[in-house]
Chains A and B, each alone.
Chain A
Amino acid sequence: MLVTAAQQAILFWQNLYNNGDLSMLDTPSDPVITLRDIHLTLGEGASQVHVLRGISLDVQKGTSVGVVGPSGSGKSTLLMVMAGLERVDSGGVLLAGEDFSKLDEDGLAAFRGRNIGIVFQSFHLIPNMTALENVAVPLELAGDVKAFEKATRELQAVGLGERLTHYPAQMSGGEQQRVAMARALAPDPKIIVADEPTGNLDDETGAQIAELLFAKQRERGTTLVLVTHDPSLASQCDVTLRVRAGEVESAAKSSTRKSSNGKKSAA
């Protein structure tokens, strides 16, 4: 059993680094997200859909990646894979240096709690908890004794120091999304994934949120993967990844900005 697992792990690493023709790395530095020929099929029987069809890519530490594509192209599913929420049928996935295919469900949850912060289009705050409690949840789950102090600081950092005891229903959409962002940032994750973070907000608030998101990402050197329909939001990312029919159609470096550490990223 152990031997088999070890053999498989070795095979995996060999495949990973000898896989020259599929590697899109242009700098052999420090990828935080590595995908190798991943395939994913959802549904059963007649409703089966081959959602991801052999995607390979590397995302460097501190890079921001905008994933764009038409509805049903598989971009949200790709995001879920990169957030450690969805397992692939075949192919290799390395997140923050860990092969999470080896983790069981609970190990995966704990892994996410430590390494990945998620921002949703519809915020998904827990309605019966205050802003402070919402932000403290991942820290409490990780057993952090200073959960509430850290959560307070995070909320102050997104400008909500005065709204600690408010419940989600008592806050505006923009405020809720800022709480969600504080919650995603609180455990100091290596990767932040955001699914249409401005999709439920008006243009002005959306722009503020986007600005805050990029500011925090740069400030902490976190890797950001962002799914969006909004071309202007995508253009603010270091790299724009265009997905169509479960495959990466193109990957382009954004002209408008560079990643905080100056490294070029590729996909």
Chain B
Amino acid sequence: MTVATSSAAVPTSAVTDVQPANFSLAVRFALRELRGGLTGFYVFLACIALGVAAISGVNSVARSITSGIAQEGKLLLGGDIAFRTVHRQVSGAERAWIGSQGQMSEAATMRAMARLPDGSDQSLIELKAVDSQWPLEGKLQTEPATAFDEESVVVDPVLLSRLELKIGQSIKIGSAELKIAGTIEDEPDRVSEGIAFGPKVIMSVAALEKTKLVQPGSLINWTTRLNLAEDSDANLNQVIDQAKEKFPDAGWRIRSRVNAAPSLTRNVERFSQFLTLVGLTALIVGGVGVANAVRAFLDTKSHVIASFKSLGAPASFVFSVYLIQILLLALVGIALGLIVGALLPVIAKTVLADILPVGNAAVFHPVALLTAIAYGLLTALAFALWPLGQARDIPATALFRNAARDDAPWPRKIYVIATAIVVLLLVSLAIFQAGDKRIALTFVGGIAASFVLLRGVSMAIQWLARRYPQVRSTPLRLAIGNIHRPGALTPSVVLSLGLGLALLVALALIDGNLRNQISSNIPEKAPDFFFVDIQSSEFEPFKTALSELAPQGEVQTLPMLRGRIVSINDVPSAEIKPKEGGRWVLRGDRGITYSTELPPNATLEAGTWWDADHIGENLLSFTAEEADEVGVKVGDVIVVNVLGRKISARVVNLRNVEWQSMSMNFVMVFSPNTFAGAPHAHLATLRVGEKTSIGGEETAVQVKRDGEILKSVTTNFPTVTTVRVRDALNAVNGLISQLATAIRAAALLALAASILVLGGALAAGNRARIHDAVVLKTLGATRRTLISAFVIEYTILGLATALFALLAGGLASWFVVNGIMGFKFTLMPEVAMITVLAALVFTVGFGLVGTWRVLGQKAAPVLREL
């Protein structure tokens, strides 16, 4: 009779009569195991440290800036509340009411021309005229500490060097000649004002009157600042509400100390979120390195794990011992990263002190650091739990046979679930932390899709390699075999290289697109000069003067008024919910114009243009894109407030314009009858002639020619403000170029992460390859054959991965450039290709150096181990 009991039929219930080894024993064992040192863990540490440093650093710096803005809100705004009006000062009634709430001060800002008294040179300036109360908050610091009066000004030192002037000399602004009393060292409310196109000049309101720059229709902003007598938050809100209620038609923009520099805050937050995502990508790319390192580490430990088990350790105990080690190492990496991240705001504080209000801001931001710790730990866990779960199941019999771990099965369900929970937490954190959930979700989706796709790419490569017919060339045959054999590097190299390359391609394309904005944004047909605030009285002489100055030039002029939309079809503009991009159309005063005919460069999208001699109903042409964003259709009635008058007009057509052409474009063009007799200024553009440039730079001839035009116009029409398109662009370009520099820094981070990870993956693979290389060498393979095989293998893997990187990186950069930054995306294949090739040569070269070392291994010591 045979014994029929089969072990498979017996339920394997958890019959354990021994308490599982406890946690403190696991910690003790983990610490003993860590005596082996950090060998094999440098990549792990570096990956975690790099990601944590990036995330904690970026967030800490951003918080320093935004908290600085919030803390110094009153100082930055120059008071508790600022009322901004365009064209006009506040009215008597408004002034009286504001004055009754506390101390007030009025200041005007505008762009104007400053020129040398002899007319030999000039510069566009940002002019600020202030009353005697200014500044309500903080102190204007000048060198020397002299006050200015109605005969003198203080100026940005840049103006002195640009016009080769000294303190004590005079400049002409508009119709006045003013003495330079000193230079501006610090201006308290500077940050709350927008982009500066030229150096700042501060003068008194009385001096401004002397310049005669203030004319009907001049582009001038007035800011009335108020320091509340009772400055509680409750009163602040109450006064703002009252102001809105009492003067519903004032058309002013009200800002409070709570929101002193909203656009700066918004930009800092947006940019820090972008950099956080880059940091997170670096961390996730690094996570692949973490997984590789953990797997390689556990491979070397498989005998120890089996020994533990043969000596009576339960599997969960083994798991704990190694989880504790990984967590301890992760903490070391996180600590290293935090040190760098915590130091960044301190460095940023010194570097940025001159341009941003970070002087008194806190540099220690626990939330930013905690977030980074959470990201670091979750990433380490997300990538370590899986291999740890697999290692848990290494059988004790591994001590007797070499169980191949390549086809290690999925870990038990609990580890799969635990990994899923950790990944979910990571995703939630990323989404929760992001300002724009849509971007965060797209990011998460992109990363997830990348993992799946890269897995697919590696499977496809291996599938093809397996089916590739026998070839004669030995290196090629070896390479193809290396790609698909069990334990091949293919999956880990494709994943780490793929993510890294895709990130690099994306960043390179974003960088390229930003730089493209800088270099190519002077279109061929763009004018060279904008002339602002040409008064009706000097309009004809001005045109004549331009035609004499540039006989070949193209002059275009348009009447220029300012107006804001009060209502559309009787719906007040405050109640209209425009699409994301169209908010600016409804916000405050916009330039408006009238014309008898369709402006050049524009095409009609819907409706018809009015007759040149149209009289009767006021008609209006709206730009098609903005009409869609704000919800305007042909036939709608729009009421605009121009110089305090409410004017109603019916939309009769929608027009397409090319904003990029940089010619004069207005959202709203009215029929001429609408503004008959209204006082207004003119706007003119001049295109001197064909543009020739050498390497994007203007030629000396152009510089001289432009200088002459500038000089002549400024001398003869002192109240006309001349903006050279190239100068204005340079100011904007300066900003974009700073952005691009930050993106390059992010690219460096990504490159560092991918090199680390790939280096780690190859190093882990190299350990396995020493064995193969040695065996092949004893069988007669030369180093040359072996290295050729490796080169071919890496090249095949690299090229397949590069293909993915080009696609994924291109898609990601398109999303960022087009969707987030709002620029037109240009695919630059050469930039993408060069990036991929350079990164490939670099990373694969790196791998081959390691491989060469492997090939130098003497056979005997390895063979003895076999």
Residues on A lying within 8 angstroms of B by beta carbon are 1, 4-5, 8, 11-12, 15-16, 18-19, 21-22, 36-37, 56, 76, 79-80, 83, 85-93, 101-107, 109-114, 118, 120, 124-129, 133, 137-138, 140-143, 183, 187, 195
Residue ID in chain A nearest B317 by CB atoms: A141
- Report the separation of the CA atoms of residues A36 and B20 in the bound assembly, to the nearest whole angstrom: 31
Please determine whether B311 and A102 come into contact, CB atoms closer than 8 angstroms: no
User: Please, which residues of chain A bring their CB within 8 A of the CB of B14?
Assistant: 104, 106-107
A124 and B307 in contact, given A76-B400, A102-B10, A141-B25 (Cβ under 8 angstroms): yes
- Report the separation of the CA atoms of residues A185 and B7 in the bound assembly, to the nearest whole angstrom: 29
Q: List 5 A-B contacts (CB under 8 A).
A: A80-B397, A91-B6, A93-B7, A125-B307, A137-B311
Please determine whether B1 and A141 come into contact, CB atoms closer than 8 angstroms: no
The one of A21, A104, A120 in contact with B399, judged by C-beta atoms closer than 8 angstroms, is: A120
Chain B residues 3 to 18 lying within 8 A of chain A, measured CB to CB, are 3-18
Least Cβ distance of B232 to chain A in Å?
65
Please determine whether B313 and A109 come into contact, CB atoms closer than 8 angstroms: yes
B515 at interface by CB-CB < 8 Å:
no
- Report the separation of the CA atoms of residues A103 and B25 in the bound assembly, to the nearest whole angstrom: 23
Chain B residues 289 to 309 lying within 8 A of chain A, measured CB to CB, are 303-304, 306-309
A126 and B5 in contact, given A141-B313, A142-B312 (Cβ under 8 angstroms): no
Please determine whether B400 and A127 come into contact, CB atoms closer than 8 angstroms: no
B395 at interface by CB-CB < 8 Å:
yes
- Report the separation of the CA atoms of residues A195 and B306 in the bound assembly, to the nearest whole angstrom: 15
Least Cβ distance of B146 to chain A in Å?
74
Please determine whether A90 and B4 come into contact, CB atoms closer than 8 angstroms: yes
Please determine whether B3 and A101 come into contact, CB atoms closer than 8 angstroms: no
B314 at interface by CB-CB < 8 Å:
yes
Given A80-B400, A104-B12, A142-B18, 10 more pairs with CB closer than 8 A: A15-B2, A37-B3, A86-B397, A89-B8, A90-B4, A105-B314, A110-B312, A124-B303, A141-B25, A141-B317
In the A-B complex, the 10 residue pairs with the smallest Cβ-Cβ separation, listed nearest first, are A113-B312, A106-B314, A36-B3, A101-B7, A110-B18, A90-B6, A92-B3, A138-B311, A107-B16, A128-B35
Chain B residues 187 to 213 lying within 8 A of chain A, measured CB to CB, are none
Please determine whether B397 and A143 come into contact, CB atoms closer than 8 angstroms: no
- Report the separation of the CA atoms of residues A250 and B605 in the bound assembly, to the nearest whole angstrom: 100
Identify the interface centre among A87, A109, A120: most chain B CB within 10 Å of its CB: A109
User: Please, which residues of chain A bring their CB within 8 A of the CB of B310?
Assistant: 83, 85, 112, 118, 124
Least Cβ distance of B159 to chain A in Å?
70
- Report the separation of the CA atoms of residues A41 and B288 in the bound assembly, to the nearest whole angstrom: 37
- Report the separation of the CA atoms of residues A143 and B18 in the bound assembly, to the nearest whole angstrom: 9
Please determine whether A85 and B397 come into contact, CB atoms closer than 8 angstroms: yes
User: Please, which residues of chain B bring their CB within 8 A of the CB of A79?
Assistant: 400
A-B contact count (CB 8 A): 160
Please determine whether A195 and B400 come into contact, CB atoms closer than 8 angstroms: yes
B19 at interface by CB-CB < 8 Å:
yes
Please determine whether B312 and A112 come into contact, CB atoms closer than 8 angstroms: yes
Please determine whether B1 and A15 come into contact, CB atoms closer than 8 angstroms: yes
B315 at interface by CB-CB < 8 Å:
yes
Please determine whether B36 and A128 come into contact, CB atoms closer than 8 angstroms: yes
User: Please, which residues of chain A bring their CB within 8 A of the CB of B133?
Assistant: none
Please determine whether A128 and B1 come into contact, CB atoms closer than 8 angstroms: no
User: Please, which residues of chain A bring their CB within 8 A of the CB of B307?
Assistant: 124-126
The one of A56, A105, A107, A141 in contact with B17, judged by C-beta atoms closer than 8 angstroms, is: A107
Please determine whether B311 and A15 come into contact, CB atoms closer than 8 angstroms: no
The one of A12, A104, A195 in contact with B5, judged by C-beta atoms closer than 8 angstroms, is: A12
A87 and B3 in contact, given A113-B312, A126-B307, A195-B400 (Cβ under 8 angstroms): no
- Report the separation of the CA atoms of residues A107 and B17 in the bound assembly, to the nearest whole angstrom: 7
Least Cβ distance of B546 to chain A in Å?
85
Least Cβ distance of B406 to chain A in Å?
14
The one of B10, B22, B400 in contact with A8, judged by C-beta atoms closer than 8 angstroms, is: B10
A141 and B312 in contact, given A15-B3, A195-B400 (Cβ under 8 angstroms): yes
Please determine whether A105 and B4 come into contact, CB atoms closer than 8 angstroms: no
B396 at interface by CB-CB < 8 Å:
yes
Please determine whether A106 and B397 come into contact, CB atoms closer than 8 angstroms: no
Residue ID in chain A nearest B2 by CB atoms: A37
Residue ID in chain A nearest B395 by CB atoms: A85
Least Cβ distance of A125 to chain B in Å?
8
Least Cβ distance of A44 to chain B in Å?
10
Residues on B lying within 8 angstroms of A by beta carbon are 1-22, 25, 28-29, 32-36, 303-304, 306-317, 395-397, 399-400
Please determine whether B17 and A5 come into contact, CB atoms closer than 8 angstroms: no
A143 and B21 in contact, given A104-B15, A106-B14, A106-B16 (Cβ under 8 angstroms): yes
Least Cβ distance of B82 to chain A in Å?
67
Please determine whether A89 and B6 come into contact, CB atoms closer than 8 angstroms: yes
User: Please, which residues of chain A bring their CB within 8 A of the CB of B32?
Assistant: 126, 128-129, 133
Residue ID in chain A nearest B1 by CB atoms: A19
Residue ID in chain A nearest B4 by CB atoms: A15
Please determine whether B17 and A112 come into contact, CB atoms closer than 8 angstroms: no
Least Cβ distance of B400 to chain A in Å?
6
User: Please, which residues of chain A bring their CB within 8 A of the CB of B396?
Assistant: 85, 109, 112
Residue ID in chain A nearest B6 by CB atoms: A90
Please determine whether B311 and A183 come into contact, CB atoms closer than 8 angstroms: yes
User: Please, which residues of chain A bring their CB within 8 A of the CB of B15?
Assistant: 102-104, 107
A22 and B2 in contact, given A103-B15, A112-B310, A141-B313 (Cβ under 8 angstroms): yes
Please determine whether B35 and A16 come into contact, CB atoms closer than 8 angstroms: no
User: Please, which residues of chain A bring their CB within 8 A of the CB of B29?
Assistant: 137
A109 and B314 in contact, given A37-B2, A120-B399, A128-B35 (Cβ under 8 angstroms): yes
Residue ID in chain B nearest A105 by CB atoms: B315
The one of A80, A126, A142 in contact with B304, judged by C-beta atoms closer than 8 angstroms, is: A126
User: Please, which residues of chain A bring their CB within 8 A of the CB of B25?
Assistant: 140-141
- Report the separation of the CA atoms of residues A128 and B399 in the bound assembly, to the nearest whole angstrom: 17
User: Please, which residues of chain A bring their CB within 8 A of the CB of B36?
Assistant: 127-128
Residue ID in chain A nearest B303 by CB atoms: A124
Residue ID in chain B nearest A110 by CB atoms: B18
Please determine whether B19 and A143 come into contact, CB atoms closer than 8 angstroms: yes
Least Cβ distance of B107 to chain A in Å?
72
- Report the separation of the CA atoms of residues A111 and B16 in the bound assembly, to the nearest whole angstrom: 9
- Report the separation of the CA atoms of residues A8 and B35 in the bound assembly, to the nearest whole angstrom: 48
User: Please, which residues of chain B bring their CB within 8 A of the CB of A142?
Assistant: 18, 312
User: Please, which residues of chain A bring their CB within 8 A of the CB of B18?
Assistant: 107, 110, 113-114, 142-143
- Report the separation of the CA atoms of residues A114 and B308 in the bound assembly, to the nearest whole angstrom: 13
Please determine whether B5 and A128 come into contact, CB atoms closer than 8 angstroms: no
Please determine whether B7 and A110 come into contact, CB atoms closer than 8 angstroms: no
Residue ID in chain B nearest A86 by CB atoms: B397
User: Please, which residues of chain B bring their CB within 8 A of the CB of A36?
Assistant: 2-3
User: Please, which residues of chain A bring their CB within 8 A of the CB of B4?
Assistant: 11, 15, 90
A8 and B2 in contact, given A85-B310, A103-B15 (Cβ under 8 angstroms): no
Please determine whether B10 and A141 come into contact, CB atoms closer than 8 angstroms: no
- Report the separation of the CA atoms of residues A195 and B2 in the bound assembly, to the nearest whole angstrom: 29
Please determine whether A112 and B311 come into contact, CB atoms closer than 8 angstroms: yes
User: Please, which residues of chain B bring their CB within 8 A of the CB of A37?
Assistant: 2-3
Least Cβ distance of B431 to chain A in Å?
39
Please determine whether A16 and B3 come into contact, CB atoms closer than 8 angstroms: yes
Identify the interface centre among B36, B307, B315, B316: most chain A CB within 10 Å of its CB: B307
Least Cβ distance of A118 to chain B in Å?
5
- Report the separation of the CA atoms of residues A220 and B303 in the bound assembly, to the nearest whole angstrom: 29
- Report the separation of the CA atoms of residues A22 and B399 in the bound assembly, to the nearest whole angstrom: 32
The one of B5, B306, B311, B399 in contact with A11, judged by C-beta atoms closer than 8 angstroms, is: B5
User: Please, which residues of chain A bring their CB within 8 A of the CB of B9?
Assistant: 8
Identify the interface centre among A56, A79, A89, A113: most chain B CB within 10 Å of its CB: A113
User: Please, which residues of chain A bring their CB within 8 A of the CB of B21?
Assistant: 140-141, 143
User: Please, which residues of chain A bring their CB within 8 A of the CB of B316?
Assistant: 106
Least Cβ distance of A8 to chain B in Å?
6
Please determine whether A106 and B33 come into contact, CB atoms closer than 8 angstroms: no
User: Please, which residues of chain A bring their CB within 8 A of the CB of B317?
Assistant: 141
User: Please, which residues of chain B bring their CB within 8 A of the CB of A138?
Assistant: 311-312
Least Cβ distance of A128 to chain B in Å?
4
Least Cβ distance of B558 to chain A in Å?
81
Please determine whether A87 and B312 come into contact, CB atoms closer than 8 angstroms: no
- Report the separation of the CA atoms of residues A90 and B3 in the bound assembly, to the nearest whole angstrom: 8
Please determine whether B304 and A127 come into contact, CB atoms closer than 8 angstroms: yes
